Homo-oligomer: A and B are copies of this chain.
Amino acid sequence: MIRCEIISIGDELLIGQTVNTNASWMGSKLSEIGIPVKRVTTISDEREAIIRALDKALAEFELVLVTGGLGPTHDDITKAVVTDYFGTELVYHETIYENLKKRFEARGYKFPESNAGQAWLPKDAEILSNMVGSAQGMLFEKKGRYCVVMPGVPAEMRYLMENSVLPIFAARNIGNVIMHHTWRTTGIPESLLFELLGDISEIEQYGKLAFLPKFSGVDIRLSVYAETVANARKNVQSVERMILNRAGEYVFSTGDTPLEKAIADKLLDKKRTVAVAESCTGGLLGKKLTDIAGSSSWFLGGVIAYSNEQKMKILGVPPELLEKYGAVSSEVAEIMAQNIKKICATDFGISITGIAGPSGGSDEKPVGLVYIGFASPEGVVVKKHIFGRERELNRERSAHAACQLLYEALA
């Protein structure tokens, strides 16, 4: 069995300037090919720290993936350190130099000589070709253990993982299946859910169970280790029966898919279409729905009516309504949802109007007050929410609540 450690290099990760999304993306992709990530170590761009981390990782694990510090500037030291560490030397690659030069010239820049260093690569490493950036990947072998070094730029790391690392190590890892399955619950605290599921050891004969509290509720995750995908799937199904029997009323998704994907599937299935009218979310709901590939089959469009003028002019909200009830009101949410449905000739119309903050609140209408309207062939409903004080959270929660309303109507 191949077990993996990820070493992420970069001060920006340690001081919190950048969140380490690379490690979680890699962890999820490696899981899919049955390689568990046992540790992630994040360190700074320092020779000592890199060597110490490599020593520890290669002593414990069969595969070590290193990202970061391969750029062309003076603070990028990873290539020099690993070249020394594996006792090899840099050699010049003419074709890589020519390709780098072409890439720059195609973008209209003169080729900077400081970039030429990227054509020098360690002699004893297999070079993994990077077609989306200028730093190549490197695969080292030492006493039957492997170390891959990749750039930290997410798009470049992903390219190298998908085109080199995952295919190479999936082929070496036949017969080890890890399957993670998640059931998402809402409306019940973690400890009550735990009690509801009864004897956990009965469930854990099929795999390891974990409880993950989130904003939306508590996710239940099962991790199954098996020799074949079919066996792993059988275990997941056994647990699914138990969970749905014991806590089914709280489960809103039997899988890891985001709510937007569940919505997309239902809309496609029922051949229904949707349009949005957004105020305080400024386009976030449309963005979330169109995150899903193929959304053009069921998402027709929408209006971002951030100002009252646009609410009247494009959405046809009567000025009297705005004057009498204000833009953030049940009445305005209702007409916004109805009118966007009419304008875009869709089956459903969703509206969001609220006060995201930080300013704009009053005693009567505080920051966090949001109305969500939902128009369907059966009529209109409006839901009132009072979220919190943080602008970003209020916008996220509003868009999520709108998706939930749509999902419930489709379920």
A residues near B, CB below 8 A? Answer: 11-21, 23-29, 31, 36-45, 49, 56, 71-76, 104, 107, 109, 112-115, 132, 153, 155, 180, 182, 189-192, 194-195, 200, 208-213, 219, 221, 223, 256, 276, 278, 280-287, 289-291, 293-296, 299-307, 309-310, 313-314, 343-345, 357-360, 388, 390-393, 395
* A306 in contact with B294 (CB, 8 Å): no
- As for how many copies of this chain the complex holds, the number is 2
Contact between chains at B13 and A40 (CB < 8 Å): yes
Q: Nearest chain B CB to A222's CB is how many angstroms away? A: 11
CB-based contact B190/A71 at 8 Å: yes
- Please measure, in the bound complex, the distance between the C-alpha atom of A250 and the C-alpha atom of B245, giving whole angstroms: 61
Interface of A is mostly: mixed
CA distance A282 to B21 in the complex (A): 24
Chain B, residue nearest A76 (CB):
B211
Is A282 touching B293 in the complex (CB atoms < 8 A)?
no
Q: Which residues of B contact A56 (CB under 8 A)?
A: 56
| Among B74, B109, B200, B282, contact of A189 (Cβ-Cβ < 8 Å) | B109
Give the complex CA separation of A392 and B200 in angstroms: 38
- Residue of B14, B191, B276 touching A38 (CB-CB under 8 A): B14
Contacting pair B28 A313 (CB below 8 A):
no
Chain B CB within 10 A, most for which of A14, A38, A211, A313: A14
Instruction: Enumerate chain B residues within 8 angstroms of A344, measured Cβ to Cβ.
Output: 309-310, 313-314
Q: A190-B71, A192-B109 are in contact. Are A17 and B212 (CB under 8 A)?
A: yes
B11 and A18 contact, CB distance less than 8 A: no
**A213 neighbours in B (Cβ, 8 Å):** 71, 153
Q: Are the CB atoms of B12 and A210 closer together than 8 Å?
A: yes
The verdict on A15 contacting B42 (CB below 8 Å), with A72-B190, A301-B305 known, is no
Q: By the criterion CB–CB under 8 Å, are B17 and A182 in contact?
A: yes
In the complex the two chains form, is A282's CB within 8 Å of B299's CB?
yes
Expressed in whole angstroms, the Cα–Cα distance for A63 and B390 within the complex equals 27
With A302-B303, A305-B301: A16-B25 Cβ-Cβ less than 8 Å:
yes
Q: Are A31 and B49 in contact (CB under 8 A)?
A: no
Top 3 closest pairs, chain A to chain B, by CB: A283-B286, A282-B290, A16-B28
Q: Name the B residues within 8 Å of A286 (CB-CB).
A: 278, 282-284, 286, 304, 306
Selected A-B contacts with CB under 8 Å, 28 pairs:
A12-B210, A13-B27, A14-B38, A15-B180, A16-B26, A16-B27, A16-B29, A19-B20, A73-B191, A75-B209, A112-B192, A114-B194, A153-B213, A276-B304, A281-B290, A282-B295, A283-B302, A283-B304, A284-B286, A284-B287, A286-B286, A291-B392, A293-B359, A300-B307, A301-B309, A303-B303, A303-B304, A314-B344
Contact indicator B294/A301 (Cβ below 8 Å): no
The reply to whether A306 and B314 form a contact with Cβ atoms under 8 Å apart is no
Contact B189 A112 (CB under 8 A): yes
